[in-house]
Chains A and B, each alone.
Chain A
Amino acid sequence: MTTLAQGKRTSRRPGGPSVGRPGFAWAVPATVFFGLFAIVPLVFVAILSFTSWNGLGTPQFNGVDNWVALAKDPVMIQSLGITVVLVVLGIVTQTPLSILLGVWAAGHQKNRAVLSAICFVPLLLSSAAISVLWRALIDPNFGIPGELPWLFGNGNLLGSQAGAIGVLTFVGGWQFIPFHTLIYQGAARAIPPVLYQAAQIDGAGTVRSFFNVTIPQLRNSMITSLVLMLVGGLTAFDTVLILTAGGPGTASTNTAYYMYQKAFLGFDFGTASAIALVLAVVATTISLVVVRATGYDKMRSTQEGL
């Protein structure tokens, strides 16, 4: 896609500088929308994080009280760790499966089209529906664990931290692998066949081609998918709410869910805003770092020289 855009630009350039790049006016609708629904609320949240407010009456400024309390709050600190664990587990499990499925689904045979259509079904469901569905399926007495005691023991999957995080990772994977598969499928289809032909002439087999042609060609898609997983994982909330409610105890309370607890169960909007701000800053920083570290922002095509 990037190449295409660049190609057009270069070909138009001789026409004169005025037709080269669109002016700032083109960005106005997006900027206004972004400003109104992202920047303005962000500023409000930043202000609220220095207040004490339960939703009634006027917020009272309380200096850095919320921040000091948050820095000492063991649940907050634990929630950051849990968030990182959930994000890392999500990436580690989803990426390889999505790549394999995506590359497989990129073939043109008819049965693949049918099978990948089935595989994409979870994409059509809302995450709330998916969570409710899985919550019923993992019921220890009447769900899958109740039928397979040799595998699940007493079925107390949500009774331990490892179990709860395992369930969240599994359901997250079931939900999001189809989406990332779609990204890789598109990218794998865009790889020019000439590369595979060249590799074949050089004596590369299927496996060698996969690692030396397909994977390098999917580089930009991987970064896209990685950033989506990172940011999505940091703000994952609905599955936690419905599947584990942060439990047992606070053992699967990630930061996004803790923010919800503070805001809408505890009506402590000041602290909740502080948590929201932490999340926003962390998510922005991480995606910037990933983009910089991988050179994604240089907008280099993987197909230069073809």
Chain B
Amino acid sequence: MNKRSARLTRALAATAILAVGVALSGCSSSGAGAASDRPAGVIHVAIYGDTANKVEQQIADTFNKTSKIKVVLDKIPGANYQQKLQTIISTKSAPDVFFNWGGGSIAQFVNAGLLLPLDGFIAQDPKLKSSFLPSVFNSASMGGHDYGIPMRGTQPVMLFSNKQVLAKYNITPPTTWDELLADVTTLKAAGITPIALGGADQWPTLMWYEYVYDRVAGPQLFDKALAGDKSQWTSDASMTALKDIKQLIDAGAFGTNFDSVKFTDGGSPKLLRTGKAAFELMGSWNYSTQQAADPAFAAKDLGYSAFPSIAGGAGNQTDLAGNTNNFYSVIKATRYPNTVRDFLKLMYSDEFVKAQLAIGNLPTTTNTVNFLSTAASPDYATFQYNLVKDANSFQLSWDQAYPQTASTAMHTAVEGYFAGRLDAAGFAAAMQALPIK
């Protein structure tokens, strides 16, 4: 008996761990209840736990000085943020306000009727909307309602480069696709990986699709596909975009071993920093990544430019892709909506903007421009701010725009086409199979 149960225990251990979690959250999920069930005297704010928390703490402290109802920050360690949120958000222990990425990261909660439309707040204080750049604000709006107030900073994707390498081979950052292809040929002949790519992380690969599709087809193609028009993926524009990507891969732009390289463990940034690669397409956080590893390199030799245009394409060269911003969204069951509204007002305050700029984030409020000179690296902040301000469209990263349920299959398709396992038709079919709700 004991031996057998020991065997069974072992066999079931993994299952049990998953199951306990599921069962417990299942038990408590009935308690999403009324405002009166919620803790008295405080509002809980769930925040992605990382080094930027010191600013969130500072803002909460400022707010708590004058408010009778206090803000409590719940810092959730970064890597599993979305999972943790998903398991608590329909329970009694749900936060009143929570950090998110807009778009697909909150779509499920909106569909489940858990979020408070902020239209009422905005009617009471129009500055809650007018103080933010519209291309950013809109990525947390759904079905004509606004669900998020921008916080932290915007993270557009840019083409980073190693200035020393470019100078050595007499290259300037490419403004057209043809220039990029020519640079690739030059660099490859010199034995340098033209473009560093953390292919093992998959999302860095996705950035190439986001930009090439935009430049070739304009932002409409993706928007229509996301709205349900799956024929977009097999359209001529889509096929042209895929052909362009293929051309770049076949030219040897990414080297041969990008499938084993990661951004997240420092592999691809190091390629760029050490001059083994000349370019890297990456989110704006690449600056602080490089700065943390080698401040002198970030200050002197790290170049950045907008994504090149593609001749004959429908996209505007000012179009951006990336994480438009982080947002605070509000739970419908919150006990103190007025307190929440007043707290959210701080997200366009001068204090907030200055504190974010000081740690390298770039808020997207209209008053940000007044403080750009106080940023950690003013040139970089100004360049980014102008990119975002002038953007014709700001495409939210595809894996954030689609619902979470689509992310694995999307990453697999993106990686498969780059590695040559999928052809253009196979990629289109995989994208068509993604759930959009």
Contacts and interface: CB of A to CB of B under 8 A. Distances in A.
A is bound by B: yes
Interface of A: 27, 30-31, 34, 37-38, 40-42, 44-45, 48, 53-59, 132, 135-136, 138-142, 154-159, 227-228, 231, 235, 237, 244-245, 247-250, 256, 259, 261, 263-269, 272-273, 276-277, 279-280, 283-284, 287-288, 291, 297
Given A156-B257, A247-B415, A248-B415, A279 B15 contact: yes
B26 interface: yes
A188 B405 CA distance: 51
A57 B31 CA distance: 10
B1 to A, nearest CB: 6
- Name, among A45, A59, A247, A261, the residue most crowded by chain B CB atoms within 10 Å (CB to CB): A247
A284 B19 CA distance: 17
Contacts of B3: 297
Contacts of A266: 404-405, 407-408
A237 to B, nearest CB: 7
B259 A248 contact: yes
B86 interface: yes
A248 B11 contact: no
B401 to A, nearest CB: 16
Interface in B64-90: 80, 83, 86-87, 89-90
Given A41-B20, A48-B22, A227-B7, A247 B14 contact: no
A12 B14 CA distance: 39
Interface of B: 1-3, 5, 7-16, 18-20, 22-23, 25-26, 29-30, 80, 83, 86-87, 89-90, 108-109, 112, 114, 200, 202, 255-262, 265, 267, 270-271, 276, 404-405, 407-408, 412, 415-416, 419, 421
A223 to B, nearest CB: 11
B375 to A, nearest CB: 31
B14 A235 contact: yes
A38 B412 contact: no
A287 B128 CA distance: 61
Given A38-B15, A58-B30, 20 more contacts: A30-B2, A31-B5, A42-B16, A55-B90, A57-B90, A57-B112, A59-B26, A135-B262, A141-B257, A154-B257, A247-B200, A247-B259, A248-B419, A249-B419, A256-B14, A263-B22, A267-B86, A280-B11, A287-B10, A287-B11
Contacts of B30: 58
A256 B5 CA distance: 22
21 contacts: A30-B2, A41-B15, A42-B19, A45-B23, A54-B86, A57-B29, A135-B262, A138-B260, A156-B256, A159-B259, A228-B10, A245-B200, A247-B412, A248-B419, A256-B14, A264-B83, A265-B404, A267-B404, A277-B15, A279-B14, A280-B12
A287 B20 CA distance: 23
Contacts of B14: 235, 237, 256, 276, 279
Contacts of B276: 141
A42 B15 contact: yes
B22 A45 contact: yes
B235 to A, nearest CB: 25
Contacts of B23: 40-41, 44-45
A231 B415 CA distance: 31
A140 B109 contact: no
A261 B22 contact: no
Contacts of B271: 141
B13 A235 contact: yes
Q: SS class of chain B's interface: helix, strand, loop or mixed?
A: helix
Contacts of B112: 56-57
Contacts of B20: 37, 41
A273 B2 contact: no
Contacts of A55: 25, 86-87, 90
A129 to B, nearest CB: 14
A27 B1 contact: yes
A268 B405 CA distance: 7
A53 B21 CA distance: 14
Contacts of A141: 257, 261, 267, 270-271, 276
A263 B17 CA distance: 13
Contact of A159 (B80, B257, B265, B404): B257
Which 6 pairs from chain A and chain B are nearest by CB? A41-B19, A159-B259, A156-B257, A235-B14, A44-B23, A158-B260
B260 A263 contact: no
Nearest to B193: A141
Nearest to A140: B257
Contact of A249 (B16, B270, B405, B421): B421
A255 to B, nearest CB: 10
B419 A159 contact: yes
Contacts of B9: 34, 38
B404 A249 contact: no
B11 A45 contact: no
Given A55-B86, A56-B89, A56-B114, A155 B260 contact: yes
Contacts of A277: 15
B86 A45 contact: no
B378 to A, nearest CB: 32
Contacts of B5: 30-31, 34
Contacts of A272: 18
